[in-house]
């Protein structure tokens, strides 16, 4: 078996890359051949099963010293939510987090993630190893294991996990929040699939950066660079078309005509991670068959969907390699900015939808005051969000002068759209 090494990380042309006939990473790969996913073994005829995924990840973890496999949560039905860490060193300059298959009926991104986990673990070329000396790659291969088992969008309770990054009501959402808090990724890359509308909304790939207005401007700019200069050009070089997620266009002029998704809603991962000081991108591959041949051959359709994700993912990893230092500087600046306790906080709006005056806290309170019952209800969620608070005899105080300053009003202000609880604003600290 031959393993394709990361094309755009190693060279300039996507997918035009050298092949490895066998792993050769000194003592940490042993003598075994690299494992294959169920998708690869069937040539795209079926998706990798969850038992196959577990065997695959265990094989990769056991073969490479640069990988670590941990369980970060357990679903209601008892399935593990797992995290793979890939790096040459215990500490690196930056961290990339791949979140795959939040929606269980969108499996193509998961297959791309599994393949790239293996490729990064087994790669022997100098450029990839140099990349992994400076960058840690974290991967959640299946963020919604129960949904994947049932082939449903939501989890076993029918909850859309990608709408749970504020409330943290699900085990899956809580697991990802803990990763964001503890690993502090500089980049969050979220892989999905979508159903097209012919002529007005039917690109091979759509992407979208954090639109929430509380995203640090430097990280907003980095996220757009990721899309404009890396992911989209890499996809185009491989013959895939791209567009902006949620925007319908006129089939003749190409001008935007309607917005059907993609606002600044804070409970969506790409926005939540932006508010929490990570650059990021949502990427969506087209599910629908492109040709008559794909209609007749499901494997052909599935291979195209996975190939488009693999290509876009290579663009994202090349961005992480080339923009490692500027990205780390941007995230560090964003994480420290909250301690200055200056500037507005936005309860609504987006980068393409200016906030109404009623949605802007031009002069936010210095803290929120919670009762004993309130802090008892939201203590765990605040901790998972990385929000510090001070317990008092009557409840708790949550100061805004901290790294998660912009997030706190979204969690506690009475005017927020998705508050955990409605705290009392205090302007006299």
Confidence (pLDDT) at 240: 98
Q: Per the confidence metrics, is the pTM higher than 0.85?
A: yes
Task: Decide if pLDDT at 25 tops 60.
Answer: no
Task: Determine contact, residues 189/316, Cβ cutoff 8 Å.
Answer: yes
166 and 92 in a single domain? The answer is yes
Q: Are residues 318 and 372 in the same domain?
A: no
Of 334, 352, 385, the domain-final residue: 334
Which pLDDT tens digit goes with each residue over 157-168? 999 999 999 999
- Regarding whether 384 and 330 lie in a shared domain, the answer is no
pLDDT of residue 293: 97
Reduce the DSSP state of residue 12 to 3 states and report it: coil
What Å distances lie between residue 265 and 104, 109, 274, 397, CA to CA?
21, 23, 11, 26
Same domain, 306 and 345: no
Per the structure, the count of domains in the chain is: 2
Give the CATH number, domain containing residue 248: 3.40.630.10
Same domain for 288 and 396, yes or no, is: no
Q: What is the arithmetic mean of pLDDT over 153-179?
A: 98
pLDDT at 18 over 90: no
Same domain, yes or no: 8 and 35? yes
Do 118 and 49 fall within a single domain? yes
Nearest to 115 by CA among 314, 318, 322: 314
Domain boundary residue, one of 287, 310, 334? 334
Average pLDDT for 46-72: 97
Note the pLDDT of residue 27. Answer: 36
Say if residue 330 is in the same domain as residue 402: no
Interval 313-352: pLDDT, tens: 999 999 999 999 999 999 999 999 999 999 999 999 999 9
Residue 10 has pLDDT above 50, yes or no: no
| Domain co-membership, 276 together with 380 | no
Residue written as tokens 């200016």? 354
Whether residues 346 and 365 share a domain: the answer is yes
Q: How far apart are CA 13 and CA 17, in angstroms?
A: 8
In this structure, the answer to whether residues 326 and 409 fall within a common structural domain is: no
Query: Which of these ranges, 23-27, 138-142, 172-176, 363-367, has the smallest mean pLDDT?
Result: 23-27
Do 122 and 204 have their domain in common? yes
Domain that holds residue 175: 3-334
Domain boundary among 334, 351, 379: 334
d(CA 8, CA 153): 31
CA gap 222, 326 in Å, rounded: 9
- What average pLDDT does this structure show over 69-90? 98
Beta-bridge partners for 71: 82
Write out pLDDT tens, residues 367-418: 999 999 999 999 999 999 999 999 999 999 999 999 999 999 999 999 999 9
């Amino acid at each position: 078996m031959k393993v394709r090494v990361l094309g755009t990380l190693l060279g300039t042309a996507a997918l035009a890359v050298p092949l490895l006939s066998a792993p050769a990473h000194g003592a940490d790969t042993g003598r075994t051949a690299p494992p294959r996913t169920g998708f690869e073994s069937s040539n795209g005829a079926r998706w990798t099963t969850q038992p196959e995924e577990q065997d695959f990840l265990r094989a990769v973890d056991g073969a490479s010293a640069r990988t670590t496999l941990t369980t970060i949560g357990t679903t209601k039905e008892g399935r593990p939510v797992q995290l793979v860490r890939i790096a040459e060193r215990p500490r690196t300059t930056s961290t990339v987090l791949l979140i795959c298959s939040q929606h269980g009926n969108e499996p193509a991104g998961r297959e791309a993630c599994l393949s790239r986990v293996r490729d990064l673990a087994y790669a022997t070329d100098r450029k990839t190893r140099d990349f992994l000396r400076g960058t840690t790659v974290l991967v959640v291969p299946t963020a919604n294991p129960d949904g994947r088992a049932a082939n449903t969008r939501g989890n076993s309770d029918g909850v859309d996990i990608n709408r749970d990054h504020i409330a943290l009501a699900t085990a899956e959402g809580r697991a990802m929040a803990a990763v964001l808090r503890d690993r502090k990724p500089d980049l969050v890359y979220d892989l999905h699939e979508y159903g097209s509308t012919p002529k007005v909304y039917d690109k091979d790939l759509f992407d979208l950066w954090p639109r929430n207005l509380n995203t640090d401007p430097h990280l907003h700019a980095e996220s757009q660079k990721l899309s404009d200069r890396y992911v989209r050009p890499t996809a185009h070089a491989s013959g895939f078309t791209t567009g902006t997620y949620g925007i319908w266009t006129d089939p003749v002029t190409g001008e935007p005509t309607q917005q059907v998704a993609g606002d600044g809603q804070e409970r969506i991962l790409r926005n939540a991670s932006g508010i929490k000081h990570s650059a990021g991108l949502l990427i969506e591959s087209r599910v629908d068959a492109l040709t008559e041949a794909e209609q007749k051959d499901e494997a052909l359709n599935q291979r195209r969907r996975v190939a488009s994700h693999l290509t876009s993912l290579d663009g994202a990893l090349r961005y992480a390699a080339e923009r490692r230092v500027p990205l780390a500087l941007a995230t560090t600046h964003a994480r420290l900015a909250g301690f200055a306790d200056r500037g507005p906080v936005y309860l609504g709006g987006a980068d393409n939808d200016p906030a109404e005056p009623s949605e802007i806290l031009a002069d936010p309170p210095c803290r929120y005051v919670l009762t004993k019952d309130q802090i008892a209800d939201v203590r765990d969620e605040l901790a998972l969000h990385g929000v510090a608070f001070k317990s008092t005899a009557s409840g708790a105080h949550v100061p805004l002068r901290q790294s998660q300053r912009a997030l706190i009003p979204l969690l506690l202000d009475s005017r927020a759209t998705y508050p955990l609880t409605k705290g009392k604003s205090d302007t006299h600290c």
